[in-house]
């Protein structure tokens, strides 16, 4: 019976397949195989025995069911893995299984393989989402809308700026994710306290050879574990991505509010239901789910930081929480990336509301421009600010057009004509360098994901 929502509600097949139990088992068997081959290379064990171990280091022979059965007796997962592999090997080859290794050599090296696969899936989706934002930025470069600060109308901006900002941030997240591989995806085969003592003087060479076979960078120094500051860096990167997606989805939720309704999620009126009791509802459920799940991903930051301080060369307090944190953080981050891609691939624009909101305040949002133009025309900046502020307060209080109020001021008409004020009050022409900013970003983005 399914209990956890990841089992039946959240997650994508590609990421779940990485972290499902059989693939995790296979990655541990891959490490055992690499250990045997490295030891054969340095003539610690016979090559024929290493080849036999490698040929049986497969879930076709070492089944999850059998390993779990052994573990119920031994109460030790890696000892059970080693026993499951040993009993499949012909002759005396099984006696060399796991020689010179400690459990965490297998655990940490195999997890590095899982992280490596996970990062590639995540990077692809971050790149896809970034590309969607870049296209939306290009398509909306002159789609002027009202900008908001403190939840209040500020001055005009463009949807091209909004999407460009998100594209730039997602590219930074891609860089952080890619950089996390450097310290995270490491190989180790160093024994009980990191000295490789069981393998003698050749042990450090075996450590490096195992990593090379697995396609991992060898750790520079360990005790019994890869140090958890490396894993912290990765989970921080996922939490950071989740926070960005939360911010973006929150903006869409706000822009879809009935009172604003500038953009929104696609809603299928033929099939989709917004409420079990209110027939009219069309809710931003995808964006809300992104925001909700992002909270779970961020919550892992505290737990992962507490896994770094371990007793002496190590204890086991990190292990149990990591069994939850690693797969869930990867699966849930991947899931909300997928949701965000879906959301923006089907985003709906309500252009009439964008224009309506732009002009909602009877020109109050052009107060800054009025002040600036009065200053350019010769009026002192502080004097101009005071006059425009006084006029804006009156216009707001009496629900009048700012242009009409400002032209009643005798000082203003010394510097600006009626025609000047009409031009100044056009919000579509007060977007500063936004087009240049977006175009430069689009040009720069051509080199973002070049390998």
- Return the CATH number at 388: 1.10.40.30
- Residue 98 near residue 35 (C-beta atoms within 8 A): yes
Identify the pLDDT of residue 266: 75
What is the C-alpha separation between 326 and 118, in angstroms, rounded?
10
Active site residue 275: yes
Are residues 75 and 207 located together in one domain of the fold?
Answer: no
Residues 47-63: what's their mean pLDDT? 98
Q: Is 16 within the bounds of a domain?
A: no
pLDDT at 434 over 90: yes
Q: Is 61 within the bounds of a domain?
A: yes
- Residue 216 near residue 187 (C-beta atoms within 8 A): yes
Q: Tell me the CB-side half-sphere exposure of residue 85, using CA atoms within 13 A.
A: 32
DSSP structure string for 328-389: HHHHHHHHHHHHHHHHHHT-EE-HHHHHHHHTTTTTGGGHHHHHHHHHHTT--HHHHHHHHH
Identify the pLDDT of residue 57: 98
Number of domains composing the chain? 3
Q: Is 134 within the bounds of a domain?
A: yes
- Residue 163 near residue 136 (C-beta atoms within 8 A): yes
Q: Is 178 within the bounds of a domain?
A: yes
Are residues 221 and 124 located together in one domain of the fold?
Answer: yes
pLDDT at 445 over 80: yes
What is the C-alpha separation between 217 and 184, in angstroms, rounded?
9
Q: Which of 125-134, 152-161, 271-280, 398-407 bottoms out in mean pLDDT, i.e. has the lowest?
A: 271-280
Active site residue 434: no
What is the C-alpha separation between 244 and 249, in angstroms, rounded?
9
Q: Would you give the DSSP letter of residue 63? A: -
Are residues 87 and 179 located together in one domain of the fold?
Answer: no
Residue 62, helix vs strand vs coil: coil
Q: Is 34 within the bounds of a domain?
A: yes
Are residues 340 and 193 located together in one domain of the fold?
Answer: yes
pLDDT at 451 over 70: no
Are residues 260 and 323 located together in one domain of the fold?
Answer: yes
Model confidence pLDDT, tens digit, residues 326-356: 999 999 999 999 999 999 999 999 999 999 9
- Residue 101 near residue 189 (C-beta atoms within 8 A): yes
The model scores a pTM over 0.85: yes
Residues 41-66: what's their mean pLDDT? 97
What is the C-alpha separation between 396 and 384, in angstroms, rounded?
18
What is the C-alpha separation between 86 and 121, in angstroms, rounded?
33
Are residues 353 and 369 located together in one domain of the fold?
Answer: no
Are residues 184 and 43 located together in one domain of the fold?
Answer: no
Are residues 114 and 158 located together in one domain of the fold?
Answer: yes
Are residues 178 and 231 located together in one domain of the fold?
Answer: yes
Are residues 298 and 406 located together in one domain of the fold?
Answer: no
Look up residue 377 and give its two tokens: 């025309």
pLDDT at 271 over 70: yes
What is the C-alpha separation between 264 and 315, in angstroms, rounded?
50
Are residues 206 and 157 located together in one domain of the fold?
Answer: yes
Calculate Rg over the CA atoms of the chain.
30
Instruction: Spot the catalytic one: 4, 21, 76, 275.
Output: 275
Give me the chain's average pLDDT, please.
95
Identify the pLDDT of residue 428: 97
Are residues 342 and 394 located together in one domain of the fold?
Answer: no
Model confidence pLDDT, tens digit, residues 235-269: 999 999 999 999 999 999 999 999 999 999 876 77
What is the C-alpha separation between 181 and 358, in angstroms, rounded?
45
Q: Is 140 within the bounds of a domain?
A: yes
Report the candidate in 319, 332, 325 with the shortest Cα–Cα distance to residue 304: 325
CATH number of the domain within which 293 lies: 1.20.200.10
Model confidence pLDDT, tens digit, residues 273-320: 776 667 776 788 899 999 999 999 999 999 999 999 999 988 888 899
Model confidence pLDDT, tens digit, residues 3-16: 999 998 999 999 99
Residues 163-171: what's their mean pLDDT? 98
Identify the pLDDT of residue 276: 62
Distances (CA, A) of 177 to 13, 35, 84, 419: 21, 29, 35, 53
Identify the pLDDT of residue 281: 67
What is the C-alpha separation between 336 and 241, in angstroms, rounded?
10
Q: Is 269 within the bounds of a domain?
A: no
What is the C-alpha separation between 115 and 234, in angstroms, rounded?
9
Show the domain range for 63. Answer: 21-96
Q: Are strands 152-158 and 186-187 parallel, antiparallel or unpaired?
A: unpaired
pLDDT band at 59 (very low <50, low <70, confident <90, very high): very high
């Amino acid at each position: 019976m399914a209990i956890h929502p990841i089992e039946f509600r959240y997650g994508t097949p590609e990421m779940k397949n990485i972290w499902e139990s059989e693939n995790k088992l296979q990655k541990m068997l891959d490490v055992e195989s690499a250990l045997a081959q490295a030891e054969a290379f340095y003539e610690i064990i016979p090559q024929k025995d290493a080849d036999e171990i490698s040929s049986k280091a497969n879930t076709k022979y070492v089944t999850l069911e059998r390993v779990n059965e052994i573990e119920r007796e031994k109460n030790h997962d890696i000892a059970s893995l080693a026993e499951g592999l040993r009993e499949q090997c012909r002759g005396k080859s099984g006696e060399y299984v796991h020689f010179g290794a400690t459990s965490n050599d297998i655990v940490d090296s195999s997890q590095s393989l899982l992280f490596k696969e996970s990062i590639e899936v995540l990077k692809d989706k971050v790149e896809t989402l970034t590309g969607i934002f870049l296209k939306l930025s290009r398509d909306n470069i002159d789609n002027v809308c009202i900008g908001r600060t403190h939840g209040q109308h500020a001055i005009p901006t463009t949807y091209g700026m909004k999407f460009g900002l998100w594209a730039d941030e997602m590219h930074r997240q891609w860089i952080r994710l890619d950089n996390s591989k450097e310290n995270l995806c490491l190989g180790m085969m160093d024994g009980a306290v990191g000295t490789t003592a069981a393998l003698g003087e050749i042990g450090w060479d075996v450590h490096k050879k195992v990593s090379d076979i697995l396609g991992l960078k060898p750790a520079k120094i360990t005790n019994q574990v890869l140090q958890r500051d490396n894993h912290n860096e990765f989970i921080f990167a996922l939490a950071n991505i989740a926070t960005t997606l939360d911010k973006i989805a929150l903006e869409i939720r706000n822009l879809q509010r009935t009172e604003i309704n500038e953009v929104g999620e696609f809603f299928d009126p033929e099939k989709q239901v917004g409420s079990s009791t209110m027939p009219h509802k069309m809710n931003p459920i995808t964006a809300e789910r992104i925001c909700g799940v992002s909270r779970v991903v961020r919550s892992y930051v505290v737990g992962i930081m507490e896994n770094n301080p371990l007793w002496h060369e190590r204890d086991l307090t990190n292990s149990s929480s990591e069994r939850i944190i690693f797969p869930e953080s990867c699966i849930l981050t991947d899931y909300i990336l997928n949701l965000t891609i879906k959301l923006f691939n089907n985003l709906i624009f309500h252009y009439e509301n964008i224009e309506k909101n732009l002009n909602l305040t009877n020109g109050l949002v052009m107060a800054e421009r009025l002040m600036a133009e009065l200053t350019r025309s010769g009026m002192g900046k502080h004097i101009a600010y005071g006059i425009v502020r006084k006029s804006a307060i009156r216009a707001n209080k009496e629900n009048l057009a700012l242009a009409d109020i400002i032209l009643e001021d005798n000082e203003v008409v010394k510097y600006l004509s009626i025609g000047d004020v009409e031009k100044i009050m056009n919000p579509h022409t007060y977007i500063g360098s936004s087009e240049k900013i977006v175009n430069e970003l689009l040009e720069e983005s051509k080199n973002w994901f070049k390998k």
